[in-house]
Amino acid sequence: MKWFWYASPQTFYPLAGRIALWCGIAAVVLTAVGLYIGLVVAPTDAQQGEVYRVIFIHVPAAWMSMFIYVVMAGWAAIGLAFNTRLSAMMAAALAPTGALFTFIALWTGSLWGRPTWGTYWVWDARLTSELILLFLYFGFIALRAAIDEPRRADKAAAVLAIVGVVNVPIIYYSVQWWNTLHQGASVSFTRAPTMAATMVAGMLVMALAFWLYSIAVSLVRVRCMIREST
């Protein structure tokens, strides 16, 4: 019952404000910790030297790009199923942040590829499907912007988001399914990581920081949207 009480924009508004504030503060703290681990504590890599330190941004951003899309599609599905306006607003609020992290993942990956692979870009499965993810985000945002009636915009974009969610497993598993240049998974839920513990710790802390940042930014954006719609 409590959940449906917060489904009203008016009651959700103050809750979103409180959560956003605490998540924002936590995000700043964790970013500081993560950067300390990544840039100071973690050792120099045997093969790549200092260049590997991009990993503390690149991998968390890539994780967030996929995670946010799935959450966005989840809110879109809830909005379609229960016909709730706020769910569709949450999906819309997540899209710009998700697109930003996708862009950051692509950009930092490109800057990492130059010194290590010798090239800024290859058309392998993982990079290509991450690029498609960026276009899917853009398509979602563009479709919302093109439709004037708010309810039609919400629902149409929801269908699009759900159709596009198929891409996320493809990105994730692409390095297993295809022989690609991109490195395979080093961090998994089932096996011990194949990297030094400090590196894993740095990545996880930065991922958490990015996650809390996304929550804070999306909730502030939803608050803006609630204000704009009244």
Partner 1 sequence: MNNEVYVWASYAVTFALLALEVILLRRRWRRLSR
Partner 2 sequence: MLAAARAIVCRDLLVAMRRRSDVALALLFFVIVVSLFPLGVGADPALLHAIGPGVIWVAALLSSMLALGRLFEADHADGTLEQLALGVAPLGVVVVAKAAAHWLLSGLPLVLIAPLLALQYDLPPMLYGVLVLSLLLGTPVLSLVGAIGAALTLGLRGAGVLLALLVLPLFVPVLVLGAGAVEMAAAGLGAEAQLLLLAALLVAAAALAPWAIAAALRISLE
CA distance 14 to 223: 9
Taking CB under 8 A as the rule, does residue 96 contact partner 2? no
Q: Does 61 bind partner 1 (CB under 8 A)?
A: yes
User: Does position 35 bind partner 2 by CB under 8 A?
Assistant: no
String marking each residue 18-57 x if it binds partner 1 according to CB under 8 A: -------------------------------xxx-xx--x
Hey, what amino acid is at 140? F
Using CB under 8 A as the binding rule, whether residue 217 contacts partner 1 is answered as yes
Which of 114, 142, 176, 197 is the binder for partner 1 (CB under 8 A)? 114
Candidates 11-19, 22-30, 139-147, 200-208; binding stretch for partner 2 (CB under 8 A): 139-147
Of the pair 34, 164, the CB lying nearest partner 1 is at 34
- Which of 96, 139, 150, 193 forms a contact with partner 1 (CB under 8 A)? 96
Among 74, 77, 155, 173, binds partner 2 (CB under 8 A): 155
Nearer to partner 2, 105 or 217 (CB): 105
Backbone phi and psi for residue 154, each to the nearest 5 degrees, phi listed first: -55, -50
Q: Where does this chain bind partner 2 (CB under 8 A)?
A: 80, 128, 132, 135-136, 138-139, 142-143, 146-147, 152, 155-156, 159-160, 162-164, 167, 170
Q: Where does this chain bind partner 1 (CB under 8 A)?
A: 49-51, 53-54, 57-58, 61, 96-97, 100, 103-104, 107-108, 111-112, 114-115, 213, 217, 220-221, 223-224, 227-228
